[in-house]
């Protein structure tokens, strides 16, 4: 009798707690603002990226040792489950992702309206509309980019994406420098926007800051939809310097396919 009573009580207590949990979700009011963190986790293929020492092999049997990875992320837009979007204020939306610093691996965005978000969109580089405004709307970003080495000196322009290091290949036997810089050239603008689905919803609340883990697969830069051989761009054996011309639109297309959201934490 006593046991039955206790069991019954236990069952009731358990049910109450379980039901009240789900009850809380239904009754929660979604209001106010919160923050989201976008984490850019640089990888090469299935491996985490380790700067300098790790050899990374492409489908063309070129082996890359990467010493620098930086890119400008901008124009961030979030989409909610109901289809409505939130555009992060443009003038605040220009960031420099940088593998070599802790601060450069995650971008924290503030004053995001609370809600359940299912998609994130961002641009790589400075968009053409902003570029055409000249200095207007830049704020301090030119100086930031200069400090990060993300500006060209031979032309007035930003580097949208920078990847540097050394490589070897079946035809290049000693470690030779390479630099890949994308940005606006005389013929192409080379800005691209990436839209990613979030595998689980990012729940922004005043007391929850979701972290969206994005994996950037750097192997795709020269080994993506378009295959580019560093060895073919090694003028006089002095290094593969890909910074302008017809390669850039191809690389930009590759960059567009380089990102995916691995997971989302809501805590």
Partner 1 sequence: MSRYMLYLFCLPRQTKKDIASIGAKRQLLYFLNQKIMLKIKIFLLLLLPLLWSCSDQDAEYVNIPLEFKVPSNFPALAYNIALNPPTEKGFELGKKLFYDGRLASDGVVSCGFCHIQANAFTHHGHTVSHGVNDAQGTRNTPPIQNLAYQSIFMYDGAADHLDLQPLIPLKSVIEMNGDLNAILEMMKGDKEYQKLFAQAFDDGAITTENMLKAMSQFMVMIVSSNSKFDKYRRNEAGGTLTSDELAGYDLFKSKCASCHATDLQTDNSFRNNGLAVNPFVNDVGRYKVTELTTDYYKFKVPSLRNVEVSGPYMHDGRFGTLEGVLDHYASGIESSATLDPILKQNGKLGITLSETDKKQIIAFLKTLTDHQYLTDKRFSEY
Given the rule CB under 8 A, which residues bind partner 1? 131-143, 146-147, 151, 153-157, 185-187, 244-246
Name which of 4 and 153 has its Cβ closer to partner 1: 153
* Cβ count within 10 A of residue 20: 10
Min CB(53)–partner 1 separation in Å: 31
Q: Which is nearer to partner 1, 23 or 137 (CB)?
A: 137
Smallest distance from the beta carbon of 244 to partner 1, in angstroms? 5
Minimum distance of partner 1 from residue 236's CB (angstroms): 14
Distance from CA of residue 74 to its chain's centroid? 10
Q: Which is nearer to partner 1, 120 or 150 (CB)?
A: 150
Using the minimum distance from each CB to partner 1, give the nearer residue, 51 or 142: 142
Determine the Cα–Cα distance for residues 55 and 67; give it in Å rounded to an integer: 11
Token look-up 């009011």 returns 29
The least CB distance from residue 151 to partner 1, in Å, is 7
């Amino acid at each position: 009798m006593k046991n039955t009573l206790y069991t019954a009580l236990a069952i009731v207590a358990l049910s109450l707690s379980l039901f009240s949990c789900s009850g809380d979700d239904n009754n929660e009011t979604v209001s106010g603002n919160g923050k989201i963190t976008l984490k850019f986790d640089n990888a090469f293929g299935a491996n985490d990226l380790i700067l300098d020492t790790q050899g990374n092999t492409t489908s063309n049997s070129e082996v890359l040792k990467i010493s620098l990875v930086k890119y400008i992320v901008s124009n961030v837009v979030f989409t909610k489950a109901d289809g409505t979007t939130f555009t992060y204020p443009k003038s605040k939306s220009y960031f420099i992702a940088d593998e070599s610093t802790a601060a450069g691996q995650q971008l924290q965005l503030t004053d995001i309206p609370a809600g359940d978000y299912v998609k994130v969109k961002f641009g790589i580089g400075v968009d053409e509309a902003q570029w055409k405004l000249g200095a207007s709307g830049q704020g301090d970003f030119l100086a930031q980019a200069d400090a990060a080495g993300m500006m060209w000196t031979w032309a007035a322009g930003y580097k949208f994406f920078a990847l540097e290091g050394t490589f070897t290949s079946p035809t290049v036997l000693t470690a030779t420098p390479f630099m890949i810089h994308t940005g606006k050239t005389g013929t192409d603008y080379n800005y691209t926007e990436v839209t990613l689905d979030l595998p689980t919803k990012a729940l922004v609340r005043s007391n929850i800051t979701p972290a969206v883990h994005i994996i950037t697969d750097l192997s795709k830069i020269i080994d993506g939809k378009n295959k580019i051989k560093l060895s073919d761009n090694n003028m006089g054996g002095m290094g593969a310097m890909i910074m302008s011309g017809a390669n850039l639109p191809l690389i930009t297309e590759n960059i567009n396919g380089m990102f995916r959201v691995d997971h989302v934490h809501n805590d």
